[in-house]
Structure 1
Amino acid sequence: MITASHNPKDYNGFKICRQQAQPLSGQAGLDKIKEAMENEIIQKSPQRGNIARKDVSVEYAEHCLSFINPAKIKPFKIVVDAGNGMAGMTLPPVFEKLPIEVTKLFFELDGSFPNHPASPIELENLVDLQKKIAEVKADFGVAFDGDADRMFLVDKFGHQVGGDMVTALVSDNLLDKYPGETILYNLICSKAVPELIERKGGKAIKTRVGHALIKPLMKKHNAIFGGEHSGHFYFRDFWFSDSGLIAFLVCLDLLSRSDMQLHDKIAEIDPYFRSGEINTKVDSVKDKIEQITEFCSDGEIDRMDGISVAYKDFWFNLRPSNTEPLLRLNAEAISKEILDKKLEEILAIIRS
């Protein structure tokens, strides 16, 4: 697939998969291709490939809708921001089959992204959606990124629902229908996610961050679903690949069945306070992580991805960026006072 995903208009890129939708990444296949190209040892096939053009939009819509019962969906009033990306093409055939009232924003395909970057994880890119939700008095809204593999919900008050909370919502719905299933979540997600999965009788498995790591693990554990704080949601019945549209539909189904507003449902499952991701440039990533490890030696330490430290009332993860001399901090606590106090202590060390 040729796509720059959620990146700005000046970017472009490739998403490369092998058979059965297995993704290639820097440490999972692409490194071998790079080595082969640099050493000119690529083996050319004796047969040439071919190019075929086929419109699968109807079949795609039907498959996405197979995750729910459209007849059971309530007539919600929803604002949808397609961000001038691919959601503008993939969503309309699905909406035609649903009894919802949709107010459309930026459904015109335009790779220059004239209205805002198609990256709904950043709050500044949700301003138009938040205004329109208030203007039309919608029940909630949803925004998709450039290639529509990610999505974020926004409640009627304009509050963004984090990817981890969407992971919890999807898990809630799927475990009602398929009890005892395995669900993966990355280590940045709120504690509310594994707590809900286990409370519903499912098996929760924590993973490192990144689709190239999660997809193989989903196959290994035959997990029905996997979610990330970044808004990536993976489904076993979607070839273990991610789909923002399917996640949206499953959440729509949950809200229809529960007879609750989005903000009320989130309040029901989320008792915690989170920092969001705090990025800090540092001279030495390794030295800072070791300083933090020493400072937090009285906590429960996990080095699955960077360093995670857990206490009774607070936890955090500190991990390096893959591309910059940055440390990424995510934290969560049972109260805002504890969160603020702990963040002040940790950031003082990181920024010293």
Structure 2
Amino acid sequence: MPSLLPCFKAYDIRGRVPAELNDSLAFSIGQAYSAQFAPKKVAVGHDIRLSSPSLARALIDGFLAAGVDVVDLGMAGTEEIYFAAFHLEVEGGIIVTASHNPADYNGMKLVRQGARPISGDTGLREIERLAAEGFRLTADTPGFLTRLDNKPPYIEHLLGYVDLNTLKPLKIVANAGNGCAGPVIDRLAAKLPFEFMRVQWQPDGTFPNGVPNPLLPENREVTAKAVREHGADFGLAWDGDFDRCFFFDEQGGFIEGYYLVGLLAQAILAKNPGAKIIHDPRLIWNTRELVEQSGGLPVMSKTGHAFIKERMRSEDAVYGGEMSAHHYFRDFAYCDSGMIP
């Protein structure tokens, strides 16, 4: 089916601001989501892009006008919306973000209760149609807006994946790319025995060091150089909404994502023997070999977060990974996280 609105993609919303995505359309998306799913309460957050607060406010206004209560998380990473959708008493959520896209872009990722993704096959096309028609839903009683710092329970959830008593005092370079990751790492750092060397730390929607996308070779050297200069044990870098993380070894060498899928699978299978591991069809030899050696069952899925999440749920897999640096966890509502790895 041809797209009615060019910013509506197969799994999310992404487009140039204001030509393809603007405050008026954001309001309509809030209205359309309300009509399609009839939620009583949703969570909304936004990334550090300059257009994000205004788009989030318009989106919230669309929900409120439809009589839907809104929990405003403020600046947040994509996975904080996932966490809110299964941790808080809400029936869905939207994060305003364009992740690693160019600075003049913005977008949205939508989920239902329990952080189930909304894609073209599960309601996004209907939301697009209603938004394109300018559908309006005005409730007799507007929704109620609550502003919430949901980071404390999110941080505690992240810490639940590790045994703090077994962690070594490592020196780690952490490159936030001037995105949303810095404030989360700061809160984690207070509870971890690590020394963090912070790079491009301040959230800044002007992207003074370029759009954060460590998958691009030209964006890796700043992290690699910092690892070498500080004599760090390893380095980490995130994209703008920190749903992807990237690793560098002690010499500043970039570690390809397909190696990490196998390594993470090994670690997780040590605690979950015999479990299923989902992987995408690209460069699978390392993944399948390590999963089978560790007593797990490798299961191949189509590439793409909607396909991976659906397969994770249907197989009840403990972990899933893509070479693009998306890592999915059963205990995180089968969603991807750039912080858990």
- State TM-score, norm by structure 1: 0.67
Q: Residues of 2 paired with 1:121 and 1:111: CA distance?
A: 19
**2:273 partner amino acid:** P
Instruction: Show the 5 A alignment for 1:145-184.
Output: 145-184=239-278
What's the offset of the Cα at 1:208?
0.8
The one-letter code matched in structure 2 to 1:233 is H
Q: How many Å apart are 1:48 and its aligned residue?
A: 3.7
Stretch deviating more after TM superposition (202-211 or 29-38):
29-38
TM-superposed CA distance for 1:29, in Å, is 2.2
C-alpha displacement at 1:34, in angstroms? 1.7
| 2:337 alignment partner in structure 1 | 243
Shift of 1:25: 2.4
Structure 2 counterpart of 1:144, which letter?
Answer: W
Equivalent in 161, 169, 177 of residue 75 of structure 1 = 169
8 Å contact from structure 1 (residues 4, 14) kept in 2: yes
Q: Is the 8 A contact 1:71 1:98 kept in 2?
A: no
Could you list the per-position Cα deviations for residues 246-269 of structure 1 after superposition, in whole angstroms to 9, with x for gaps in the alignment? 01xxxxxxxxxxxxxxxxxxxxxx
Letter of the 2:279 partner, please give it: Y
1:58-115 CA-partner distances (Å, limit 9, x unpaired) = 2111100100111211111110000111101111111211111110001101011111
Q: Which amino acid aligns with 1:181?
A: A
Q: Which secondary structure does the structure 2 equivalent of 1:110 belong to?
A: coil
Q: Which residue in the other structure is 1:121 paired with?
A: 215
**1:8/1:118 contact within 8 Å kept:** no
The match for 1:11 is 105
Equivalent in the alignment of 2:282: 188
- Tell me the alpha carbon deviations over residues 198-257 of structure 1, each in whole angstroms, 9 at most, x when there is no partner: 11111111011111111121111111111111111111111111111101xxxxxxxxxx
Question: 2:263 is paired with a residue of what secondary structure?
Answer: helix
Gaps of 5+ in 1: 248-352
Matched, 1:62 2:156: yes
Within a 5 Å distance, the mapping from 1:177-256 to structure 2 comes to 177-247=271-341
Return the structure number with greater relative CO, CA threshold 8 A, min gap 6: 2
Distance 2:233 2:251 in 1: 9
Q: Deviations over 1:2-52 (max 9, x none)?
A: 111111221111111111111122344211222344456777666643321
> Are 1:28 and 1:212, in contact at CA under 8 Å, matched by a contact in 2?
no
Q: 2:125 aligns with which of 25, 31, 51?
A: 31
Pick from 212, 220, 224 the counterpart of residue 130 of structure 1.
224
Task: Map Cα deviations across residues 127-167 of structure 1 (whole Å, 9 max, x no partner).
Answer: 11111111111111010110111001011222211222111
Structure 1 counterpart of 2:197: 103
Contact 1:181 1:223 (C-alpha < 8 Å) held by counterparts = yes
RMSD of aligned residue pairs (Cα, Å) = 1.7
The 8 Å contact of residues 224 and 254 in structure 2, kept in 1 or not, is answered as: no
Note if contact 1:222-1:236 (Cα within 8 Å) is conserved in structure 2.
Answer: yes
Amino acid at match of 1:184: I
1:276-332, Cα deviation, whole Å (9 max, x unpaired): xxxxxxxxxxxxxxxxxxxxxxxxxxxxxxxxxxxxxxxxxxxxxxxxxxxxxxxxx
Query: Any conservation in 2 of the 1:183–1:197 contact (CA below 8 Å)?
Result: yes
Q: Secondary structure at the match of 2:172?
A: strand
Moved more, 95-104 or 140-149: 95-104
Question: Secondary structure at the residue paired with 1:128?
Answer: helix
Structure 2 letter corresponding to 1:236: R
Deviations 1:161-189 (A, max 9, x none): 12221111111100011101111011114
Counterpart in 2 of 1:263?
Answer: none
Aligned equivalents of 1:215, 1:206: Cα separation in 2 = 12
| Residues matched between the structures, number | 247
Q: Which runs of 5+ in 2 are unaligned?
A: 1-94
Q: Which deviates more, 198-207 or 27-36? A: 27-36
Cα separation, 1, equivalents of 2:163 and 2:254:
26
Q: 1:94 to 1:4 in 2, by over 3 A?
A: same
Higher alpha-carbon deviation: 148-157 or 189-198: 189-198
Quote the sequence identity (%): 40
| CA shift in 2, pair 1:240/1:45, >3 Å | farther
